[in-house]
Amino acid sequence: MNGVDPYLKARDFLVSKEEFELLWDKEKDMLITHPQPKQIEKYYDHEEYISHNDRDNTFMGKLYFFVKSINFHRKVRLVKSVIGDKGNLLDIGTGTGYFVSKLKMMGWEVSGMEPNEKARSIAKKKDIQVFKSLEELADRQYDAVTLWHVLEHMPNLNEVAKKLTGLVANGGCLVIAVPNFKSLDALHYKEYWAAFDVPRHLSHFSKSSIIKLFERHDFELVLTKPMVFDAFYISLLSEKYKTGRSNYIKAIYQGLRSNLNGLITGEYSSMQYVLQRRE
């Protein structure tokens, strides 16, 4: 591939055990998974892929849903800080519809987009309007569009950015949460860093890559927020990938180190970006 350099090789620890290259695009300051599978669906077909289920009785599953419930309130506060108490919101990659179903109960007008059939069927049972693809959303606009750990899964980023521009009303906001490959836990765990999650994660972002991707599409970065729990959750998974054991104490230590480092550098394990469409 032109204009990119090898960064490291990472393994799919969840499904296939295959190895993939991560290539560094210097101009965009992001990493690209190579090769990118043509039949990506099979890499999601695993009982441990938690975001496509509504419950999981394993320790990591219970931890995931506990953190998810805490993060919900933080997500709502973040969106409200930009567009006010209520509005019209689209959640892309909505999974089983947890986020939008809670918002609906709070009086929001909501929709979701989810390509996975299993997750989409669960979301629809919650009386949520759920679309299969961005193409089905043509000519619709929203006060807010959210992508919680979704953008890294999407191919053809420039085309996606254009479509997102059309979905966000003038003055509305785009809220994106993605892992940060420049965080201390990423640098510590390297090829074992669970948030690389190849090949499901096709792209791997830095703060500057998010700005570069969306500033050409009439978006302005107005706010960034860390997702501090992600450092601990990702470190727990990374320890298991690296050593074959959970190593809770080491994982908590590395998560704490990463968050403390983020206070100084601004480079947290996962970051939330609020981008406002210029009027």
3-state helix, strand, coil in the chain (%, to 5): 45, 25, 30
Q: Indicate the length of the chain as a whole number.
A: 279
CB atoms within 10 A of CB 59: 11
pTM of model > 0.85? yes
Digit-coded pLDDT (tens) for 1-39: 667 889 999 999 999 999 999 999 999 999 999 999 989
Residues 66, 61: Cα–Cα separation, whole Å: 9
The whole-angstrom separation of Cα 234 and Cα 252 is 10
Q: What's the CA gap between 187 and 141, in Å, rounded? A: 39
- pLDDT tens profile 214-237: 998 889 999 999 999 999 999 999
Report angle CA 5, 38, 129 to the nearest 5 degrees: 110
Domains, the chain, ranges and CATH?
4-183+190-229+272-277 (3.40.50.150)
pLDDT tens sequence across 99-131: 999 889 889 999 999 998 888 999 999 999 999
